[in-house]
Amino acid sequence: MRKMLAAVSRVLLGAAQKPASRVLVASRNFANDATFEIKKCDLHRLEEGPPETTVLTREDGLRYYRMMQTVRRMELKADQLYKQKIIRGFCHLCDGQEACCVGLEAGINPTDHLITAYRAHGFTFTRGLTVREILAELTGRRGGCAKGKGGSMHMYAKNFYGGNGIVGAQVPLGAGIALACKYNGKDEVCLTLYGDGAANQGQIFEAYNMAALWKLPCIFICENNRYGMGTSVERAAASTDYYKRGDFIPGLRVDGMDILCVREATKFAAAHCRAGKGPILMELQTYRYHGHSMSDPGVSYRTREEIQEVRSKSDPIMLLTDRMVNNDLASVEELKEIDVEVRKEIEDAAQFATADPEPPLEELGYHIYSSDPPFEVRGANQWIKFKSIS
């Protein structure tokens, strides 16, 4: 008890001091790692699947926690800013799906590639951009990762190809990136994500065919959150076994709320591709707490009870927290400390995103062409001209 009080007071003191310093909860001895059982994946055209147990180190656990919490809070902050009309247009949030973006990243290398659709803020973060530049892009400011030119659906980073607005179009793109990986011969893979709604797009089947034909190192990933906008999977798909829809492509169905499950499945899938066996398909069963976008309250096509049930039984952050705390990998206080730091990071980022000025009007015409000398771009009438620089 005394130890706990000491720890708690240290946390409180810590919060009042410089935010960047981690207050060490030095008196506790934590386990270095723990072994966990994870759910067996359903398999399609595979003899074996990912392992059913995995080791989580304290260090990894804390990192995953911090990352998931950051994505969670960042999305909630975006919700807030949207309601204040500081963010406008499209805003598709991924709270509830944190185990997907963090788990996938945990299963690959920074030199691997990833492309997704428009519910992309989480991936933008896990692929290496800061909350600051993401929020500033959402608010359309010059400090945004695309200088305010792209917005919510068009954020890019190294080996991260967005952020794509046209449902399904990113899937052939991802297969093309995988083609480049094979062409370059560097054992890199491309994670190509799409949702349960997009899964019915014809171009995805064209991509499956070519990826399999040419043995491209492409991991097709269906992030199945049960609803394509307002249409439940049962109303959209003749077969909701998305992991089997690749037909001749082996597939696995993964518990997308369990970050360890996602991580292990990703490692398994990546190994499959790196071994030159061609593409593989992963269905991540997950859930979004928000509606399709900020214009959708999300309760006309599903019940509040359903949302609440997922929150209380399957929340990815809660699942990781419970595992870590119950297995001596972290303390509740320690995790709360991380929460405080994350909250501050998000708050600072939101301040910046709100205060940073919009991009200068003079730059409206920039970035039409790459590597070209400057030229003029026409404005709303023939007398309005904008300079265009690459």
Partner 1 sequence: MDEELERDEKVFLLGEEVAQYDGAYKVSRGLWKKYGDKRIIDTPISEMGFAGIAVGAAMAGLRPICEFMTFNFSMQAIDQVINSAAKTYYMSAGLQPVPIVFRGPNGASAGVAAQHSQCFAAWYGHCPGLKVVSPWNSEDAKGLIKSAIRDNNPVVMLENELMYGVAFELPEAAQSKDFLVPIGKAKIERPGTHITVVSHSRPVGHCLEAATVLSKEGIECEVINMRTIRPMDIETIEASVMKTNHLVTVEGGWPQFGVGAEISARIMEGPAFNYLDAPAVRVTGADVPMPYAKILEDNSVPQVKDIIFAIKKALNI
Where does this chain bind partner 1 (CB under 8 A)?
113, 115, 146-150, 154, 156, 161-162, 164-166, 169, 171-181, 183-184, 190, 202-203, 206-207, 209-210, 213-214, 366-372, 375, 377, 382, 390
**Would you say 55 or 368 has its CB closer to partner 1?**
368
In angstroms, the first-to-last Cα distance of the chain is: 63
Shortest Å, Cβ 136 to partner 1: 12
Minimum CB separation from partner 1 for residue 35, in Å? 38
* Closest approach of partner 1 to the CB of residue 213, in Å: 7
Whichever of 113 and 253 has its CB closer to partner 1, that residue is 113
Burial of 59 (0-12, 13-18, 19+ CB in 10 A): exposed
Q: At its nearest, how many Å lie between partner 1 and the CB of residue 367?
A: 4
CA 209/CA 148 separation, integer angstroms: 37
Give strand ranges (E) for 129-272: 190-195, 218-224, 227-228, 231-232, 251-255
In the complex with partner 1, the residue whose CB is nearer, 301 or 375, is 375
Residue showing tokens 């870590």: 324
Nearer to partner 1, 35 or 370 (CB): 370
CB of 138 to partner 1, least distance (A): 14
Residue 36 has φ and ψ, to the nearest 5°, of: -125, 145
Minimum Å distance from CB 345 to partner 1? 23
Minimum CB distance to partner 1, residue 336 (Å):
37
The answer to whether residues 156 and 115 touch, using CB atoms and an 8 Å cutoff, is no
Closer by beta carbon to partner 1, 276 or else 309? 276
Half-sphere exposure of 304 (CA within 13 A, CB side): 1
Left if phi > 0, otherwise alpha if psi is -120 to 50, otherwise beta: which for 148?
Answer: left
Task: Give the residue with the Cβ less far from partner 1, 49 or 279.
Answer: 279
d(Cα 252, Cα 323) in Å, to the nearest integer? 24
In whole angstroms, what is the distance from residue 355 CA to residue 63 CA?
30
Say how many C-beta atoms besides its own lie within 10 A of residue 303's C-beta: 9
Tokens of 73: 């809070």
CB of residue 112 to partner 1, shortest distance in Å: 11
Task: Give, as one character, the DSSP assignment of residue 186.
Answer: S
**Residue nearer to partner 1 on the CB measure, 13 or 368:** 368
Of residues 29 and 370, the one with the C-beta less far from partner 1: 370
How many Cα atoms sit within 13 Å of 297 on the Cβ side?
5
